Amino acid sequence: MKKIILAIDSYKGCLTSKEVEECVAQALRERFPGCEVVSVPVADGGEGLLDALAGILDMQTIQVEVHDPLMRVHNARYGILDDGVTAVIEMAEASGLPLLDVEERNPMRTSTFGTGELIADALCRGCRKFLMGIGGSATNDAGMGMLEALGVRFYDESGNELSASGEAMCRIFHMDLSCMDGRLAGTEFQVACDVGNPFCGKEGAAYVFGRQKGATSEQIMRLDAGMEHFASVVRRSLGKDVIGLSGAGAAGGLGGALWAFLDACLLPGIDVLLEAARFDEELSDADWVITGEGRSDSQTLMGKVPFGVLKHARCFGVPVCLLSGRIEAKETLREAGFAQLVEASPADMPLAEAMKPETARKNIRQAILRGVAW
């Protein structure tokens, strides 16, 4: 065994991508002394994209005061690459679900305003290219808040100005783009999406992700109706149809807003990161790739990190081991092309125990030392 590449997503709520890979690398070096182990911290466009890219690219980290999903003042980070014009923004820093306590989660009220403030601050610093990760949101406002922070104004049928929220979408009658930040003209946006869901409908933002953001069944129906209404206003005003666009439903419709208003290019997040890491160059002489996540199942094949890694590795004929905390739908994953499936957590271990960082490290190490048949 000469070279193994690690491209493992975070075990969410437990270990970061970097921490998982450090643990795996240590165990591999015990098992295969002299083997080259290459670590590529990865993310799918959700939480962790900023840190993952900071480990790959030369980047200055900027801290700025913005508003969180409930419009409270909050400190958030973004990065500026060494070219001085490219900003790396992780929307979860300003508008993410982890910023709210469980009882505060309510996508009828939350706003992406803080994400727009991050963009505005980067514009003030001369950035004209943006790489954005938009996973992990607490919001379902179709990007209204972001647009409001950038100068777009929304009005109801009586001419009253609306403040951005999930609840406000269905009341939009007119949009005024005349005060939209002029520095956005000619600005390039690449958006790393962690999901490919459409804007609305049964597979759209509200129905698929609304409940985890705190919405009730009734609110989910209202949010979806609001998304459909917002899409009709966009179609009437801009001549663009976001309804069926893949990735438009990411971050509660933020993906669709970025595409419709800022001409953003929506891309699978893992592909963006692997390109930045020059992953394909590393694959040319690799013997194995190890990827994984906290829990793998059939959803892994819907744009998540391990499947993105697998697609790249297959092009070079490099076998891929899936090392995850828990693995379901094993036959489906084998049929997709994973050469090995290794479950780190013992089947009889309670989830709460398995998610303790020290327990997870121990389980991962033991899985590598005992369970991988190369």
Q: What gap in Å lies between CA 149 and CA 176, rounded to an integer?
A: 13
Cross-strand pairs, 358: none
Domain for residue 281, yes or no? no
Asked whether residue 91 falls in the same domain as residue 216, the answer is yes
Give CA–CA dist 170/158, Å, rounded: 14
Copy the structure tokens of residue 155. 């009005």
Q: What range does the domain containing 172 cover?
A: 49-269
Instruction: Please check whether residues 114 and 54 belong to one and the same domain.
Output: yes
- Which CATH number goes with the domain that contains 72? 3.90.1510.10
Residue 278 lies in a domain: no
How many independent structural domains does the chain possess? 2
**Per-residue pLDDT reduced to its tens digit, 170-197:** 999 999 999 999 999 989 999 988 778 9
For residues 323 and 302, membership in a common domain is answered with yes
Give the end of a domain, one of 210, 243, 269.
269
Identify whether 221 is part of a domain. Answer: yes
**Domain shared by 342 and 251, yes or no:** no
Check whether residue 189 and residue 258 sit in a common domain: yes
User: Are residues 86 and 17 part of one domain?
Assistant: no
pLDDT digits (tens, 9 = 90+) for 259-282: 999 999 998 888 888 888 889 999
147 and 169 share a domain? yes
CATH of the domain at 332: 3.40.50.10350
pLDDT averaged per 10 residues in sequence order, the chain, 374 residues: 93 87 95 93 74 86 98 97 96 94 96 98 98 93 98 98 97 97 95 88 95 96 98 97 93 97 91 87 96 92 88 96 96 97 94 94 93 61
State the pTM of this model.
0.84
Residue 280 domain-assigned (yes or no)? no
55 and 35 fall within a common domain: no
Q: Based on the domain organization, do 66 and 9 belong to the same domain?
A: no
Question: How many CA atoms, within 13 angstroms, populate the side-chain half-sphere of residue 138?
Answer: 27
At 273 the pLDDT is 84
How confident is the model at residue 318, as a pLDDT? 97
Select from 269, 294, 317 the last residue of a domain.
269
Domain boundary among 235, 269, 303: 269
pLDDT for 188 equals 97
- Bridge pairing between strands 153-155 and 265-268: unpaired
* pLDDT given for residue 374 in this prediction: 62
Strand ranges in the chain using DSSP code E only, listed in sequence order:
3-8, 36-39, 59-67, 73-81, 86-90, 129-133, 153-155, 174-176, 188-193, 265-268, 288-292, 295-296, 320-324, 326-327, 340-343
Q: What is the DSSP letter of 110?
A: -
